[in-house]
Amino acid sequence: MFAVVSYHPHQQKVGSFLRYASSGDAWQKVDTAQANRLLSRHHPQYLFKSKQFDAEFHAVNISDVVKHHRPEQRLKALLAAKPQDEIEQKLHKLITILVQFGVNCDFLGLTGSMLIGQQKKGSDIDLVVYGRQAFHQTRDAVKQAVASGLIEELDLSLMKDNFNRRGGDLNFDDFAWHESRKFNKAAIDGTKFDIGMVCLPDELEHDHHHYIKQGVSTVKAVVLDDHRAFDFPARYLIDNEMTPEVVSFTHTYVGQAIAGETIEVSGAIECDSASGQRRLVVGSTREAIGEYIKVCR
């Protein structure tokens, strides 16, 4: 079972990443190393080297797709039915609260383990929001609901769990400080939920550039433009002549910095083969080891 990770086709294939593998009667979640190992041994046709991005990920032929799990349809189906477990009860409660603060359910979907019916005790609730405006309205609703005491900020235990999954190269204090001001994660009755943005077609940048890797770099610079900070990939324009754009392909650094702040960025330098324009890329792997974005406080 693959998660779609790209808006654009890649040689007529769906850019994706293996997230779950069949294990008898159940689906087993796999990390990046496990996914690559499993595919290289048993299904090498899904390993993909993108010439455009000079990067390796997974890609699936349209003809191989047996089922497309749609987040918006799954959410509607669960909300229309009686909750079957504790996490579905919390989902119903959460959506009621968000709607109370002005969120339109038509722009919401459900992803992660709940999308494929594989949630278990301790699972998170992963929501997607379609469109930049709807996403920021939902973030604002989360902020208001936290202030009203209807949902909770992540406590130390949930933040540490979040850190252990995503912390990467930041220490815990830095990680928690950045996370606490994003309002894209919170908790409902002790269960963590997060919201991620999916751009609408007219919000997409048609990225047909061909990039070549040119080593690694660490820079300090002021953020000039943050309006695409919560996109996938997240983008920041910075005051650095050599690499004026920072792009993050890992969710850890979404919404990480605000215009006017000085950030330190460590990542891979990529060069547009046509224009010579350079950018700094964070998240060449899902775990982004050795790569980070942090605000200089």
Phi, psi of 267 (to 5 degrees): -170, -170
Assess whether 85 and 181 both reside in one domain: yes
* Contact criterion met (CB below 8 Å) for 90 and 188: yes
Residues 186 and 268 in one domain: no
Bridge partners (DSSP) listed for residue 14: 9, 60
Express each pLDDT in 249-271 by its tens digit. Answer: 888 999 999 999 999 999 999 99
Residue 170 and residue 99 share a domain: yes
The answer on 87 and 176 residing in a single domain is yes
Contacts 24+ apart (CB under 8 A), 39-43: none
| Average of per-residue pLDDT values in the chain | 92
End-to-end CA distance of the chain: 41
**What's the distance, CA 106 to chain centroid?**
20
Task: With beta carbons less than 8 A apart as the criterion, state whether 289 and 251 touch.
Answer: no
Q: Does residue 143 fall inside a structural domain?
A: yes
Q: 233-238: long-range contacts (C-beta < 8 A, 24 or more apart)?
A: 233/283, 236/263, 236/293, 238/263, 238/265
pLDDT tens digits, 50-62: 776 667 889 999 9
With b meaning 16 or more CB within 10 Å and e meaning fewer, what string describes 193-206?
bbbbbbbeeeeeee
Q: What is the pLDDT of residue 95?
A: 98
Residue 204 in domain: no
Q: At 114, which CATH number?
A: 3.30.460
The reply to whether 220 and 187 lie within a common domain is no
Report pTM: 0.90
Rounded Cα distance between 110 and 70, Å, is 8
Q: Which domain holds residue 6?
A: 2-64
For residue 251, what pLDDT is reported?
A: 86
